[in-house]
Structure 1
Amino acid sequence: MTSTYDVYVGVGAAAGSLTRYHVGRWISQISNSDFPWGTWFINVVGSCVLGLVFKDFWWHQHDTMWWLLLGTGFCGGFTTFSTMSYETMHLMRTNRWMATAYLASSLGLGCVLIWAILWV
């Protein structure tokens, strides 16, 4: 049974990672800024998607495999805490205010949006 779980998480993570790569690349091409809009957008949207998936699972009975595929797999592969951390440290060298705004808005807005999705 565990190997089946691994497949669902792996397929979801692969789909999320590929989506993150293409969305991030597209946003980087249209954005001409030192601010890492691609990662910011991905993490904020990923927080919303995770909130929506969680809320649906909260109210409806679903097979655990769907959570592994969508919540753990796709959202885990789509969002990227490590890239956000790297980009924050890179910005700290050049523009501390931008680094602070990036980190605070990524985490803050993500949390506020999840709260709004779950409670409003």
Structure 2
Amino acid sequence: MILGTLLVALAGGVGAALRLAVNGFVHRRIRTNYPVAMFVINVIGAFLLGLITGLTAGHILPEQLGLYAGVGMVGGFTAFSTTSFQTLRLLQERRIWLAIANSFGMLAVAVIVAGLGLWLGRLI
């Protein structure tokens, strides 16, 4: 139990470091008022979680490894709280359409790519 918790924490740290790297990479290349970096990060995370779940369901990935990768790494990588704050900031700036795209658009795309990841994971 303690080892499993430590492995999830370690994987979460790796995910957070990857989020920082992807965030910086996107920000250096794309200048916009829309929080595109978090959009990209959350969509990638949704796909990865779907893929991990599919691989685990298909018994290709051991359940414990799927837990560490999904809860730990992907959980540390994605950031729902940041997306929520960025949506609130867009609303405060009266950028209503960007706020709608950031919340509902990101959620819709994330659900679609999570389904794609799940499908691919089960297909393998």
TM over 0.5: yes
Question: Is 1:4–2:3 an aligned residue pair?
Answer: yes
Q: Percent identical across equivalent pairs?
A: 27
C-alpha separation in 1, matches of 2:90 and 2:34: 8
* In 1, Cα distance between equivalents of 2:114 and 2:24: 25
Q: Which moved more, 1:110-119 or 1:92-101?
A: 110-119
**Change in 2 beyond 3 A, CA 1:116/1:64:** closer
Q: Which runs of 4+ in 1 moved over 6 A?
A: none
User: Is this contact kept in 2: 1:88–1:103, CA < 8 A?
Assistant: yes
1:96 is aligned to 96
- C-alpha distance in 1 between matches for 2:64 and 2:119: 25
Q: Which runs of 5+ in 1 are unaligned?
A: none
Using structure 1 for the length normalisation, give the TM-score.
0.92
User: What pairs up with 1:39-50 in 2 under 5 angstroms?
Assistant: 39-50=38-49
| Contact persistence 1:8–1:65 (CA under 8 A) | no
Computed over aligned residues only, the root mean square deviation of the Cα atoms, in angstroms, reads: 1.4
Deviation at 1:61, TM superposition (A): 5.6
2:86 alignment counterpart: 87
Question: Residues of 2 paired with 1:31 and 1:64: CA distance?
Answer: 37
